[in-house]
Amino acid sequence: MAASLTKLLNIQYPILQGAMFAISTPDLVAAVSEAGGAGVLTDAWDVETLRENIRIIRSLTDKPFGVNLNMAKRHTDRVWESARVIAEEKVPFITAGAGDPRPYLPLMKEAGVKVIAIVPNVRLAKRLEAAGVDGLIVEGTESGGHIGNLTTMALMSNVIPEVSIPVIAAGGIVDGRGVAAALVMGAAGVQLGSRFLLAKECGSFHDKNVEAIIAASDEDSTAIGTTRGKGMRGLRSAFTEQYRSMELSGVPTEELNKFSANITPTIAKYGISDDGMNGMIMVGQSIVPLKRVQTAREIIEEVMAEAEEILKNANNLLG
Ligand SMILES: Cc1cc2nc3c(=O)[nH]c(=O)nc-3n(C[C@H](O)[C@H](O)[C@H](O)COP(=O)(O)O)c2cc1C
């Protein structure tokens, strides 16, 4: 059986705060790590800001934290620059997504940075295990933000038995029930994104977005771009309705890109646009339990207490 996430990262609770573009600021990352999980910063900044943010986190906590290396730009200089800063700063671990992290493994290994790769299927999971990554994240289509096709349940069912390194489950997990279920499925830990959008330390996330998430029902979740291989999940809005109808009517992808061009940078930063088009608040499908703003510590302690209670009574579940 694979080691737990707590052993892999030397943390108290098996909880990662998923990277969330510019929303996962040093304040949020440090607060999650201080509370016993592990926060994850993004590399969505220029490299000097990335270095500065890493140092700010270090000034706020001496606990382990990570940086998300986004490889969507296909091993360009920009990705290599971020990778070098992460290695120089000896960040405890990276979560590597939207590409193949193998080119960065020697640099990370040499710097003692653990590599957790985000994988969409068994094939890549096995290939990256063989290449020497330290752990895997499987992120189901229930997640907020960029999404693939498979559900978290299917990914856990498919991937976990096929590898012997730790697998972290992400997507649709917002409370102790989700954490307990993932651990019972054999996951080494979980990654939560949406639940941390309602963390007090999530300062760059607009109050209007928080209110919309609290008011949302399960039917307000939607995904756009799924027919073009770049799905993105969030709350239904005038923008998503128009995008989706253009997408389904078969307009060329370039036209869709043009339509969303003005809106995408603001989505990336704040999850909402201010140009009247209403943007898209990125949040996952498990939305009904998201009702309160709490500190990162309150979130982690509440989620873990629920999970522990459920697991303690698990013997009785069979009746
Ligand atoms: C607003 C938002 C932004 C996100 N941005 C990123 C990102 O920059 N990089 C990444 O790897 N994952 C990103 N994610 C995915 C999260 O890290 C996490 O895996 C996901 O939110 C888990 O699903 P949940 O939202 O159901 O908890 C984002 C998620 C949200 C909600």
Q: Give the pLDDT means over successive 10-residue stretches in the chain (319 positions).
A: 84 96 92 98 89 98 96 78 96 93 96 97 97 97 94 98 98 98 97 96 82 93 92 91 94 91 65 61 95 97 97 88
Distance from the alpha carbon of residue 113 to the mean position of ligand 1, in angstroms: 21
* pLDDT value, residue 76: 79
CB within 8 Å of 297: residues ≥ 6 apart = 31, 34, 35
DSSP helix/strand/coil, 127: helix
Q: What number does the ligand 1 atom closest to the CA of 233 have?
A: 31
**Exposure of 312 in the CB half-sphere (CA atoms within 13 A):** 7
Residue whose CB lies within 8 A of the most ligand 1 atoms, among 143, 150, 210, 288, for a mutation test: 143
Residue 98 confidence (pLDDT): 83
Give 199 Cα–ligand 1 centroid separation in angstroms.
14
Judged by phi (left if over 0) then psi (alpha if -120 to 50, else beta), residue 261 lies in alpha
pLDDT on residue 280: 85
Residue where the block lists tokens 């109808």: 245
Whole-number Å distance, alpha carbon 282 to ligand 1 midpoint, is: 8
Q: Which of 21, 69, 233 to mutate to test the pocket of ligand 1 (most atoms within 8 A of CB)?
A: 21
147 CA → ligand 1 middle, Å: 9
Q: 120-141: buried (b, 16+ CB within 10 Å) or exposed (e) per residue?
A: bebeebeebbeeebbbbbbbbb
The helix (H) or strand (E) run that includes residue 139 is strand 135-139
Give, for ligand 1, the residue of 17, 20, 137 to mutate: max count of ligand atoms closer than 8 Å to Cβ.
Answer: 20
Separation of CA 98 and ligand 1 centre (Å): 12
Q: How many A from CA of 319 to the centre of ligand 1? A: 36
pLDDT score recorded for residue 72: 79
- For the chain, helix, strand, coil in percent to 5 are 45, 15, 35
State the DSSP H helix or E strand holding residue 7, giving kind and residue range, or none if neither.
helix 5-9
Residue 171 Cα: closest atom of ligand 1: 23
In this structure, the residue with its CA closest to atom 1 of ligand 1 is 282
Determine the Cα–Cα distance for residues 304 and 176; give it in Å rounded to an integer.
Answer: 6
pLDDT, position 45 = 81
Q: Which of 45, 118, 146 is the best mutation target for the ligand 1 pocket, counting ligand atoms within 8 Å of the beta carbon and taking the most?
A: 146
Can you tell me the distance from the alpha carbon of 120 to that of 313, in angstroms, rounded to the nearest whole number?
33
Residue 1, pLDDT score: 54
Number of H helices and E strands in the chain, helices first, is 14, 11
d(C-alpha 228, C-alpha 101), whole Å: 23
Task: Burial-class residue 39 by CB neighbours within 10 Å (0-12, 13-18, 19+).
Answer: buried
Q: How much is the pLDDT for 269? A: 56
Cα angle 204-81-18, degrees, rounded to a multiple of 5: 40
Look up tokens 């309160």; give the residue. Answer: 292
- Return the pLDDT at 3: 63
